[in-house]
């Protein structure tokens, strides 16, 4: 966890200290809806349903002029989890995405479609009691973001993003529900619909 945290901090500092004449730096706020599900390695548990949560927090965008390319990062409070027996089990995370973005500026109209791709580092900050009783939870999980959207009048961005968990976020405890023999782990999968205002 310390190595991952150190890597994220160094990467963020590297972007900040890039010479000002080589970048366009903007700050903003992003919020949206998460539709998430935990994908379990055991098919018996992979029948859980998607759960709805939200995300919100500050973001920073660093663009390279005249290229359409840039980097977006931020610190987002995010709810992710799953639904079982009509009850949601969302955990709370602090997400740090590192997205490479490419915008296509259209002539004569103030609209710029964009594509985004990059890793996501999720730090667990809150877990429901029911999850703690049944699972060994991971403090940090890593995912891969793939997204697309549109920028309107330079300040408003609306997008859709899919986060594909690369590392286990949950693992069943050995003594859970007696002698079931379940030995499974789960990775987060999250669709996000977001809107951001950049200044």
The residue that leads in pLDDT, 41 or 115, is 115
Computed over every residue of the chain, the mean pLDDT equals 85
pLDDT at residue 185, rounded to an integer:
84
Confidence of residue 178 (pLDDT cuts 50, 70, 90): very low
CA 109 to chain centre: 30
CA dist 146 and 101 (Å) reads 10
Angstrom distance (rounded) from CA 102 to CA 100: 7
Backbone Cα Rg of the chain: 19
Per-residue pLDDT tens digits for 46-82: 578 999 999 999 999 999 888 899 999 999 999 999 9
The sign one gets for the Cα dihedral 162, 36, 154, 8 is: negative
Q: How many other C-beta atoms lie within 10 A of the C-beta of residue 92?
A: 16
Once rounded to an integer, what is the mean pLDDT over residues 132-142? 91
| pTM of the model as a whole | 0.82
pLDDT score of 8: 56
pLDDT value at residue 13: 53
Residue 49 gets which letter from DSSP?
A: B
DSSP secondary structure letter of residue 41: S
Both tokens assigned to 78 = 């995010």
Q: Where are the beta strands (DSSP E) in the chain?
A: 24-40, 51-63, 69-74, 76-84, 87-103, 111-126, 135-137, 140-152, 156-165, 170-172, 185-198
């Amino acid at each position: 966890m310390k190595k991952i945290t150190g890597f994220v901090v160094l990467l963020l500092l590297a972007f900040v200290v890039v010479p000002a004449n080589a970048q366009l730096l903007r700050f903003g706020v992003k919020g949206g809806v998460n539709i998430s599900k935990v994908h379990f390695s055991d098919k018996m548990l992979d029948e859980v349903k998607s759960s709805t949560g939200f995300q919100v927090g500050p973001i920073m965008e660093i663009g390279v002029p005249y290229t359409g390319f840039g980097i977006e990062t931020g610190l987002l409070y995010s709810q992710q989890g799953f639904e079982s027996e009509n009850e949601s089990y969302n955990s709370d995370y602090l997400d740090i995405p590192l997205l490479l973005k490419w915008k296509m500026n259209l002539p004569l109209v103030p609209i710029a479609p964009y594509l985004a791709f990059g890793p996501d580092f999720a730090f667990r900050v809150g877990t429901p009691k029911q999850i703690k009783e049944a699972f060994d939870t991971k403090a940090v999980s890593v995912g891969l973001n793939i997204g697309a959207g549109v920028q309107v009048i330079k300040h408003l961005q609306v997008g859709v993003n899919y986060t594909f968990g690369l590392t286990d976020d949950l693992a069943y405890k050995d003594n859970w529900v007696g002698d079931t023999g379940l030995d499974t782990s789960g990775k987060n999968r999250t669709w996000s619909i977001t809107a951001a205002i950049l200044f």
